[in-house]
Every structure is written in structure tokens, then in C-alpha cells.
Structure 1
Amino acid sequence: MPTHSDHSVTNRAKIEAIRGSLDHPIIDGDGHLLESVPMLFDTVVRIAGSDTAADLRRAIPDLFTGAGSLEEGTPRGPWWPSTTDALYQATVMVPALLAERLEEIGFDFMVLYPSLGLALPTLPNAEIRRASIRALNTMVEEISREHSRVITPSAVIPMHTPEEAIEELRFVHDLGFKAAMIPPGVARPLANHPDLFPLLAHTDRYGIDSEFDYDPVWRTFEEMGFAVTSHGAVGLNYLPGGRGSPTNYSYNHVLGHGYLQSEYCRSLVYAGVPMRFPNLPFCFLEGGAAWAIEMFGALEEHYEKRGPDGLANYDPARLDVGELKSILARYGFPADPPEMVGEKDRSPWARNEFEDSGLASEKDLARIFGEQFYFGCESDDVTVHRALDGPGNPMDVRLRPVFSSDIGHWDVPQLDEPLPNSYKLLDRGRMSKDDYRAFVFDEVVRLHTQLNPDFFAETAVEEAVSRSTLSNP
């Protein structure tokens, strides 16, 4: 049976062969840091005091799902979320070591996202949430600062209220961050059943049916030069994932990221956010792109059939009831009861459900999904080629997948496997060399330079980015 060492030797050979065949860098758009919890507590003490650090220590265990319970209605969690390989574990905990080994695993540059940072924004207590996130961002900047040539970390932005989001955006911008991440939703108690939270909650996704107007937040993202990147996690008590098996974490995890991102994405579209902020890029991380293709097609269909023009086809006032009765009578069907065809008058709540979207035509959907939205795809995602297949997608639109190694988490058991995995679709003839370049370089460059042309300045990939026509559209 092949050992871990055998796999590593094979992967290194594959990495060298792949890199030797390319004329462009590899940029990892979503690697993960495993934060040192003791370092975080020390930083919380420094920023907010020992009492807040003690409160955070007590609160953290409640963030994550555990063994699961049918009686309590709690889903099962992942048990152990990362590798047991000591060198791998240390590499994703220590940015200095990661920077040393980045070339070894085949990457030229990495955007590094926190892991505990996926959970802290779900803390329901505002004081603990804001202090812990401020401390996390401070700590991550401090331990990554000297490695900016090959690594840039993402800040974490809390979204329970627009005010706290804007305050943290301005803070991390001043601290020197170039990337910022939000959760794909915030769970809120139901007004009539607060005692049942979080088992029963409304998930606010910042668009349709939101408690707040988040336009000031999107405006601040633009002003600060940040793309809006969103990242969820499966196994958080305060971020419902749509799946709740108390006995099977894999059941809960399969398609879980896509579920979280699709709900958030759809909320933005129906609320008109991408139409009001057409120059603001949004990247939906780790969910892949298959859900986006299906959603894009469904939105196009629903706009056609339930938009401003199509909805008239379902107005009961337009039904010729007399003709219907005549036809039914010929076939011996009852034609007199008032409930024969349901309501005859249009309900007051029946309306064009796209009126808040700002969409003027289906072409706006094509622009949003083809130009403004980006989709984080892991290295072993076998559907990446579908995103890049314009003629096979709704309205012939080619989507924008962003290469995401996801190193640091349990679904990447070997640190050096993402690059070889990413090349398999090309080896199988599903992807061209140009497609592969788009996946591992062009799209992530476009995502982050659209609002900040200097995103890659003074990095290992600066020269290649400056040569890329995509960085100067």
C-alpha cells in the first residue's frame, strides 16, 4: 500500500512537470490558515482585556456542532477538521513556514483565509464578536506581514450590522489588508420565538428580506478597494447549513458550501445589489460553480416567466371562465363550483418578484454572472470545465472560476496534492491550456485588481500580472 511519503514523491514529480509546461504563475485564491488559539487569546487580552478573553474562551465551544442529537435537533460536526501530519499542520499555522514551502507545493502566491475566522463572525454576542474579530485581524496581519511577497491574508468582516462591518473594513484597510471576507449570512432570532434560537432562526443574507440596508457596506468595500469575498463553513451552530443529520457529518457537508453561497447569491440578485454596484466584484468561495450554472439558468427562466412581462400570463382576471366551463362541460367535468379554478381575483401580494432586482432584461443577468461574479472552485472539482464552457451555459455565458486549494482543511489530506489535482481536467481533455490559465491565474488577478490595480504590487507575481492584459482592462 503506498505510503504518504510515496504520494509526496509522486506529487513533487507531477508538480515539477506541470510547472515546467506553463508560462504563467499559479495563484491560490483560497488557502487556509489554522490560527493559533493561544495567540488569539493573547491578542484579545491585549486589545480588549482579560475578561473579554475569558468570555471568548467560554463562547468558542458553542460555535461548533458536536456529536449531534436528534432529541436536541443538533447536527453532527466533523470530529477533527484538519490533518494529523505534523509538518502539514505546522505549515498552515505558521505563515513563515508556509512562505518557505509555497514553491514546493507548486504555488507562486496565495490569498490566505482564516479558519477560526469562519466561525467568529457567527458569535451572537456583539461585544465578544467584535473584540475577537478585531484581535484575529490584528494577529493575522502581524504574523503575515513579513511574507507579503508570496502571501496576502484576508481580513474577517462581521456583518451583524452595517455599522460594525464598516468600522472593521476601515480598520483593516488602515492596517494594510488587501482582501476581506464576510460570512454568507447572519442567523437572527425570530421575533416571536427568541427562545428557540439558534434551532429556529432567520438567516439574513444582506439582500432580500434583510433586517438592515447593507448598501453602505457595499459602498465601503468599493471605497476601500476590496472585492467582496464570502466564505461559509459547515458545522456551525449559528450559521444554519440547510442539512441537519445528527448522525452523519458527511451528509451535512456534501453540497453544504454551495447551499450557503447559493442562498446568499440569490438574495443579492433579488435585492438588486449587483445592479446598484455594477463595478463591485463578488466571489463566492469554496462552493464550486455548478450551483451557479443551475441558478443562472433558473433565474433567467423565472425572470422570463415571473418578471414584469411574464407574470401577466398568470393573472386569473385574464382567464375566460365561460370558455373554460364550456370545454369542461363537453367532457363531463363539473363546471359550476367557485373553487373550480381557484382564486379569480389577483391577490394583493401577487407582484413582479423582480421589481427590487433592478434588472431591465435578461442581459443584465448575463453581465452579472459573466462579469461581476466569481466562484471559488477546489482543485479536485470535476465541474470547473462547465463554468468555462460558454456555449454550454445559459445565454452562452462563460463563468469565472477561481482556483482554491483549500489547504489546511480535512478535505485536503496532503499539502502537495491540490496542484496535480487541478491539472487532471486538462489531462482528460476537458479543459484547454487557456482555460487552465484562466482558472489558476487570470480570474483571481481580475477579481482582486478590478478595484485595486496595485493588489499584486511588490509580490512574486507582480511582473506577470503587469504583463497580463486582464490587469488593465
Structure 2
Amino acid sequence: MIGSRETRSAKIRQNLGHPVVDADGHWIETAPVMKGFFLDFVKDLGGPELAARFESAGGLDYDDTVLRPWSRMSEQERRELWTTRPPWWTLPSSNTLDRATAHLPNLLYERLDDFGIDFAVLYPSRTLTTPAIKEAELRQIACRALNVYHAELYGGYGDRMTPTAMIPMHTPEEGIAELEHAVGELGLKAIMINGLVHRPIGDAGEANSMHGQQPNWGAGSGERIDTLGLDSAYDYDPFWRRCVELKVAPASHTPGMGWGSRRSISSYVSNHIGSFGASMEALCRSLFLGGVTRRFPELSFGLLEGGVSWACELYAGLVSHWEKRNAQSIHQLDPARIDRALLLDLFDRYGNERMKKEGEAIATAFQSLEPEPPDLDEYAACEITQKEDIRDLFVPRFYFGCEADDPMVAWAFDERINPMGAQLRAMFSSDMGHWDVPEMSGILEEAWELVEDGNLDEAGFRDFVFTNPVRFYTTVNPDFFVGTRVEAEAAQILATGSE
């Protein structure tokens, strides 16, 4: 046994009186092993020609498909094509034990008690952007192969951990097809959707591409971001409905680098800071204003690795915008309501000579600033009649993955600040396996600093590391934790019946 059980995280866990559920840990793909499995799978499914296409495109290896192509470019080429600096040196190296732990499920299983973690839901690392591969056939087969591979690799450890299935979302149909295979045939119970789909605008070609091969997370100047809800190219309701039927709560872990202001050609740090928050905010805002949580009140959405501070701002913004721009109050902003006579009088009394001379033109201009819009109620899809509806459609429907070193978690639980005294659903997300976790055994210890520093009480900490992760994963599947170490305690949460 490599585990020591003497770590401070383990001692903190022993004193908590409740389990710790990691809503977002990471495995690291072992490329040489995975590549052999993958090519054999593709060959069996699509023949040797398809396997050869994958291999020539770099397969699924992040280094071959993204990092090395960027590194081979000259600085001038990067600037001419404005090729986003991809992540580099992002995996544990000096801590060899932790690095091996992220590769080996048996070793992770043995060490979880050292980390103070009772159960972990695991997400990919080097293949995180697989659902964003642009070519449909390659994308769909790649997701299926990886789901089969990880179902096999992690299948014997279900009492302490579970892998997520990768679900491509370029169309609802491809999403449903892989959902049915991953859940119905492989028995996976957690899913990761591609929350942002980069689509071409009009006939836009491959401008700003990396020699015709854009990084999977990036967007060129001729592309737009489809966020699956508001203004989407497709109606994704059939997919959300199938999630309910198959009892899986969709989570997004889509990176936010390579589009918007995060397109530095030289600095990964510049591109990375706030990137997951930007990605998650775009998806959350789209799902809400697109009315998805109104039409599917039984479904919850996980928005991972972006923290929760952006969600506090979004929630407050949705409330304040509705108060001033709802279907009734918006009429106060109608230019036709300007009192023409009063306006002329005020300009005549207080304006300079130039203003007085143009008084009639000014009055006309004030009343014809813009035509009446086709829709006055931009919250119509949500059917909001009072601000409490926003709280009820937002707070229990969205869950936010927050890392252990994030002090802004406290904001989510601060009823004094959040409108209507809301507590947003922040979830403990270890991010183990990545560069920002220098010591896996120190993750829970770092999260506990929220309590030690007086920013979160113990009840809030319980919600953060246990109640909220349980709520999310059992939203449509009350049996999610059956057969796991936390089965009894999770059942107690469900028995309360509160959202």
C-alpha cells in the first residue's frame, strides 16, 4: 500500500462527519496504450482507411494535434495566422507519484483516502476537446472509442470513482446517438457535453486556421459560437429530453481559450485565466434565456472548472435586467413616450443658441431613435412573471465546479449579497491530475482554508464538498450513488426532498 492515511486532508475528512464527493477530478490519458486501442477500434468500426486518416491527422494525441504544430510554426507564421498559444507543461512532473496516480485507476483507488475523498467523478485531460473535432465522422468515432476505452479501464472501481462519457453536440442527433450508446450500452452514468460549438458564419472558410487545422478549442474570424440554447442552429430539446429519460445530468467542461479576447499567440497564462468561466457563462446564459430550465425543470446542468463568481454576476445581472427590461417596464424606454412639448420647452429654456435653433429637429430625433423591435420581452422563453421566477429557474438548475484554491466560493453562499438571499450551487472539484494541483494529498486541506479563514462556515463547507455534488448527480438519477461508499449518506440527502 502506497497510501499513508496520515495526510492532513485525511485527518480533516475524519473530523467532518460527512463524505467528500469530488465533482470533477481528472485522469491523464496514457497515450501509447490508448493509441493502440483506439486505432484497433477505429479499424474494426470503419476499416483501415479510416484508421489511416486518424493516424495521419495525429489521432487523439494532444501533442501531435495541437502543441507540436504550434511549436513548428515560426513567430512570423503565428502572427500572420494569429494562431492561439495552446496550453503547455500542464501535467504534474516533479511529483512522479501524483503523475502516475492520474494514469492508473488502481493507484488512484488506493490513494483516495489520503486525499480525504470518498468518491470521485473523473473527466479527461488530453482528450478534453475530442467532442469539438470539426470533421463529423472522426469526431463521433473518436468519442465512441474513448467512451469504450474508459468504461473498460475504470469499470472495476465503481464504489469509489466513475468516468464520464464524452458526448459530441454539433447536432442533437449525434449527441443522442452517443448518449444512448454510452449510457444504454456501456452503463456510464455521468456525461460531458461539448457546451460550445464553433460554427462557420455564412460561407466562411478556414480563415485564421492552423494550416487548415484549427485547435479544437479555437474559433476563427469567420466563425460564431453556438451555445445550444439561445439562437442555436438546432433545437436541442430532444437531446435534453433524452437526458431526462436516460437519467443523466449533462455537465460541460468546454475550454474557453482560442476565442474572444483569449487568443494571445504567445501567452498561455493570458489565454487561460478566466477561460473556463467565460465558456461556462456563455453556456449558462444561453440555456437560461433560451428557456431550457423552464421547459426541463427536472434537469440540472453542471458547469465545471470555471468557478462560481461569474455565476453570481450572471444571476444578479439577470435579475436587474429583468427588473428594468421586463415585458411591462420596457415600455418606460419607448422613445414614443418622450413628451415632445416639454422637451422643446426645456431645450428652449436651457439650451444654447445652436440647440434652440434646432429644437424641432432634436425633438423629432428623440422620438425616432430606433424602430420598435420585433420582440419586446427578451425573457419570453423563460416565462418570467416575477423576479422570484428567475431564482427558481436558475439556482436549483445550475451547479458550478470550483477548485480547492478558489476563495470566491464564499460568494456563492453569501445570502447577504446574492439577490433574494440565494445560495448558488458551488461544487468541490479537485482538478487533480492537472498543473494547478501540486500535491493531490493537499487538495481537501486547501479547500478547508475557506473555513479556517472564516469565509465559509462548516454548513456551507458540507454543501460545497458533499450536498451539492450529490444533488447534481442525482438530479434525474436517484440511484447514482447506489453501490458506492457514500450510498447511505447520499440517500439521506435525497430523503430530505429539498432542492
1:282–1:374 contact (8 Å) kept in structure 2: yes
| Map 1:386-397 → 2, pairs under 5 A | 386-397=411-422
Which of 199, 208, 220 is equivalent to 1:199?
220
How far 1:435 sits from its partner (Å)? Answer: 0.9
Q: Which residue of 2 aligns with 1:232?
A: 254
1:133–1:156 contact (8 Å) kept in structure 2: yes
CA distance in 2, matches of 1:47, 1:342: 66
Deviates more, 1:18-27 or 1:37-46: 37-46
CA distance in 2, matches of 1:427, 1:447: 26
**Inter-CA distance 117–140: structure 2 relative to 1 (3 Å threshold):** same
- May I ask how many residue pairs the two structures share in their alignment? 462
- For the residue of structure 1 that corresponds to 2:115, the secondary structure is coil
In structure 1, the gaps of 5 or more residues are 1-7
CA distance in 2, matches of 1:100, 1:16: 13
Q: Which residue of 1 aligns with 2:178?
A: 168
2:10–2:114 contact (8 Å) kept in structure 1: no
| Map 1:304-343 → 2, pairs under 5 A | 304-333=323-352, 334=355, 335-338=359-362, 340-341=365-366, 343=368
CA distance in 2, matches of 1:304, 1:400: 23
- For the residue of structure 1 that corresponds to 2:24, the secondary structure is strand
How far 1:469 sits from its partner (Å)? Answer: 4.8
Q: Deviations over 1:228-277 (max 9, x none)?
A: 11112255x5xx36411112111111111100000111111111011000
1:232–1:257 contact (8 Å) kept in structure 2: yes
1:43–1:136 contact (8 Å) kept in structure 2: no
- For the residue of structure 2 that corresponds to 1:245, the secondary structure is coil
- Amino acid paired to 1:194: G
Q: Which residue of 2 aligns with 1:144?
A: 154
1:214 maps to 2:249: no
Which of 11, 15, 22 is equivalent to 1:21?
15
CA distance in 2, matches of 1:408, 1:322: 69
Q: Which residue of 2 aligns with 1:418?
A: 443
CA distance in 1, matches of 2:439, 2:347: 67
Q: Which residue of 1 aligns with 2:268?
A: 249
2:128–2:254 contact (8 Å) kept in structure 1: yes
Deviates more, 1:116-125 or 1:36-45: 36-45
Q: Deviations over 1:30-72 (max 9, x none)?
A: 0001112233333333332143333333155445684583321
1:63–1:123 contact (8 Å) kept in structure 2: no
Deviates more, 1:76-85 or 1:204-213: 76-85
**Inter-CA distance 345–178: structure 2 relative to 1 (3 Å threshold):** closer
Deviates more, 1:289-298 or 1:87-96: 87-96
Q: Which residue of 2 aligns with 1:55?
A: 53
**Inter-CA distance 362–21: structure 2 relative to 1 (3 Å threshold):** same
Q: Which residue of 1 aligns with 2:188?
A: 177
How far 1:372 sits from its partner (Å)? Answer: 1.3
Q: Deviations over 1:368-398 (max 9, x none)?
A: 2321111111011101111011232112111
- For the residue of structure 1 that corresponds to 2:423, the secondary structure is coil
1:276–1:358 contact (8 Å) kept in structure 2: no
How far 1:431 sits from its partner (Å)? Answer: 1.1
2:338–2:366 contact (8 Å) kept in structure 1: no
| Map 1:46-445 → 2, pairs under 5 A | 46-49=40-43, 50-57=48-55, 58-59=57-58, 60=60, 61-63=64-66, 66=70, 69-84=78-93, 85-174=95-184, 175-196=186-207, 198-200=219-221, 201-235=223-257, 240=259, 242-333=261-352, 334=355, 335-338=359-362, 340-341=365-366, 343=368, 346-349=371-374, 351-445=376-470
1:241–1:256 contact (8 Å) kept in structure 2: no
How far 1:152 sits from its partner (Å)? Answer: 0.8
1:117–1:133 contact (8 Å) kept in structure 2: no
Deviates more, 1:357-366 or 1:254-263: 357-366
CA distance in 1, matches of 2:380, 2:165: 34
- For the residue of structure 1 that corresponds to 2:460, the secondary structure is helix
The RMSD of aligned alpha carbons is 2.1
How far 1:448 sits from its partner (Å)? Answer: 1.1
How far 1:97 sits from its partner (Å)? Answer: 1.4
1:29–1:404 contact (8 Å) kept in structure 2: yes
CA distance in 2, matches of 1:149, 1:181: 20
2:338–2:367 contact (8 Å) kept in structure 1: no
**Inter-CA distance 396–470: structure 2 relative to 1 (3 Å threshold):** farther
2:248–2:477 contact (8 Å) kept in structure 1: yes
**Inter-CA distance 345–101: structure 2 relative to 1 (3 Å threshold):** closer
How far 1:301 sits from its partner (Å)? Answer: 1.1
1:233–1:257 contact (8 Å) kept in structure 2: yes
TM-score, scaled to structure 2: 0.88
* Percentage of pairs with the same residue: 37
2:256–2:278 contact (8 Å) kept in structure 1: no
CA distance in 1, matches of 2:8, 2:468: 24
- Amino acid paired to 1:313: Q
**Inter-CA distance 203–146: structure 2 relative to 1 (3 Å threshold):** same
2:66–2:86 contact (8 Å) kept in structure 1: no
Deviates more, 1:161-170 or 1:111-120: 111-120
CA distance in 2, matches of 1:73, 1:291: 28
Deviates more, 1:78-87 or 1:288-297: 78-87
